[in-house]
Structure 1
Amino acid sequence: MSKLAARFFRMVQSAPFYANLHAEAVAWVGVASGQQIWWDIGCGPGLITRQAARSGYATMGIDLSPDMLAEAAKMAKQDGLQIAYRNIDLQCVSDVLEKPSVLSAASLLAVLSDRPAGMRQLYNATREAGKLVIIETTAEMTIPHAWRWLMKNGWKNGNWILMLWAISRRKMIPVDVPALLPAGCQFDYLPLLDGMVGAWQIKKR
């Protein structure tokens, strides 16, 4: 992606409603207990990595876009946070790094051409007894639903970005996270943003 795209995604991640729903998901996972590692795959400008670092995790953001990683590093430095950022393909990540206690992926599976393969790679890259956290829009992320939310909460303060998000998802099949998980895999679910976004917390056995 270009530097312009990276700056646009930084603006999206800076919208309070967007930052808040991801902060809720990070808080749901809980603060770090001891020296725990958190990776965020497809980190973009690094929103979740910064939130996880504030919760005490040794955090790494992983993305294929050097421009996204540059934006993420700049934002982390501005916030006084020590966060590592690496350009690594998801298929290779578990071969070159120590597996994390928590691995997250937000709005990643929706854009992958092979979602089952993507989920397998995310699951396999998570440490045994670790947590895999998936954050994706649901079938409730529709233009009418976004409109109702905006009529209630207003269009200012970056809220208008929600409509762009809903428009971008209008022809996209929602990610059925439970169907992509290994058989018998247990998970907890947290609805976010009036159910337009969901967070799934999967404990790897």
Structure 2
Amino acid sequence: RAAQLARLGPRTGDLVWDIGCGSGALSAEAARFGAAVIAVDADPDACARTEAAGRRFGVQLQVVAGRAPHVLESLPEPDVVRVGGGGAQVVAACADRRPERIVAHAATRDGAEAIDAALEAGGYDVECALLQSVELDTSAWSERERSVAFLLSGRRRERSP
């Protein structure tokens, strides 16, 4: 979440879309930076968790229940977008709205390449990082579990005169 927030860069005056908001933690953190946040999720439980996170942190969030990309059509234009679910199709729909920055993640290289292609086609310069987490058993200092994720961030290209 910290790596996503750092690349997203929410600030006062920004409108952030958090698509696939899940627990609501990223939405609440973005709102704590002063951004207006619209959190979107198809799961009613995720919407409830996001509303609870907003109350817990004392920030206001707008929570929209629905499946992206269709639910996005009626939302106001975002400044920055975090795509927590939906893959390249949702990333492409967001890129069509031309926010300044889009951050997304993928569990596989194929998924990362598809998101990269959607961002590039939408006019974004893309950076990708491979994040890895390893849980260790400290009694033997051996690996218990490893997880990896591709973190992609796109910044809208400046138009040439």
TM-score (norm 2): 0.74
Q: Which portions of structure 1, spanning 4 or more consecutive aligned residues, are displaced by more than 6 angstroms?
A: none
How far did residue 37 of structure 1 move?
0.7
1:84-115 alpha-carbon deviations (Å, 9 max, x no partner): 11113323344312111101112431xxxxx4
* Equivalent residue letter for 2:3: E
Following TM superposition, by how much is the alpha carbon of 1:59 offset from its aligned partner in structure 2, in angstroms?
A: 1.1
Q: Which residue of structure 1 lines up, in the alignment, with residue 25 of structure 2?
A: 47
SS at match of 1:134: strand
Distance in 1, matches of 2:70 and 2:122, equals 24
Long gaps (5+) in structure 1: 1-21, 110-114, 140-172
**Superposed displacement of residue 180, structure 1:** 3.3
Question: Identity, % of aligned pairs?
Answer: 23
Of 105, 108, 114 in structure 2, the residue corresponding to residue 135 of structure 1 is: 105
Task: Give the 3-state SS of the residue equivalent to 2:117 in structure 1.
Answer: helix
Choose the corresponding residue for 1:178, options 116, 133, 137.
Answer: 116
Greater strand share, structure number: 2
- Matched residue count: 142
Counterpart of 2:6 in structure 1 is 27
Relative to its length, the structure with more helix (as a share) is: 1
User: Which residue of the partner structure matches residue 167 of structure 1?
Assistant: none
User: Once superposed, what is the RMSD of the aligned Cα atoms?
Assistant: 2.4
Q: Could you list the runs of 5+ residues in structure 2 that have no partner in the other structure?
A: 134-146
Tell me the TM-score normalised to structure 1 length.
0.60
Corresponding position: 1:58 with 2:10: no
